[in-house]
Amino acid sequence: MRLIASILALVAAASAMTLNHERIFGDWKRQFGRAYGTHEEETMRFNVFRQNAAKVVAHNAAGHSWTMGLNMFSDLTEDDSAPSNIAASLANHGPKNYELSHLRAVGIPTSVDWTEKGAVTPVKNQGQCGSCWAFSATGSMEGAVFLNSGKLPSLSMSAIAQQPVSVAIQADQSAFQFYTGGVLTSNACGTSLDHGVLAVGYGSQNGDDFYKVKNSWGASWGLKGYILLGRGASYNRGQGQCGMLKMASYPVA
């Protein structure tokens, strides 16, 4: 972790033209256990790494409400890191029997964090398995069992005020994949759902409203495995940041 912190500090402070990419790439490979079969593949991945490092530097220098950094995706193109067959998995494993409910946002608290209430288990890492939908659904069930309540609503603060909510998002874009902190605002990711996650709370930070979302890429990703997604109907024409308002559910336990 100390190594990654030093790499991120260097990337944030240096310009893309002056980075010692070879040394940073070597440190990064050791941290994440990367090894390539051929010199040609290593050269290709090094070039992708340089491009992603430059993207991180440019983003952080622009003063956005969220930061980006190097992580396990840093030697991958967006096509490489796109979750394979996850969209199909989400469709195939969607709820078969459900009740659609619309909850009124009346008398709900201004912020909620179910991680502080014992209703959320530790962050897990799905690895190369396309099973995000299972992590998302299981997380919602765990919250329901903990709270002994639940329905299948349209996603709203009212729903998350009652328990963690399973949602689907688009996660194959760099703004999401390289996220390290802050509230992910602007329409930085789309609405082509390809990944299942768990909404565990909501609140505001520096004037930006957010949903707190638990991912399944391990605790070394994002904010110790979490991301703060911009909250509000203005994102993606009402479909939510990364499309998270399109497909949401929580179970009856």
Q: State CA 183 to chain mean position distance.
A: 11
Pick the catalytic residue from 59, 60, 71, 195. 195
Distance CA 169, CA 173 (A): 11
Pick the catalytic residue from 59, 215, 236, 242. 215
- Please give the backbone phi and psi of residue 200, each rounded to the nearest 5 degrees, phi first: -115, 5
Residue 109 corresponds to which tokens in the numbers above?
């608290």
Q: In the annotation, is 215 catalytic? A: yes
Pick the catalytic residue from 59, 60, 71, 132. 132
The percent helix, strand, coil of the chain (3-state, each to 5) is 35, 20, 45
Q: In the annotation, is 195 catalytic? A: yes
Q: Which residues contact 180 (CB under 8 A, 6 or more apart)?
A: 8, 66, 67, 68, 69, 71, 222, 223
Give me the active site residues, please. 132, 195, 215
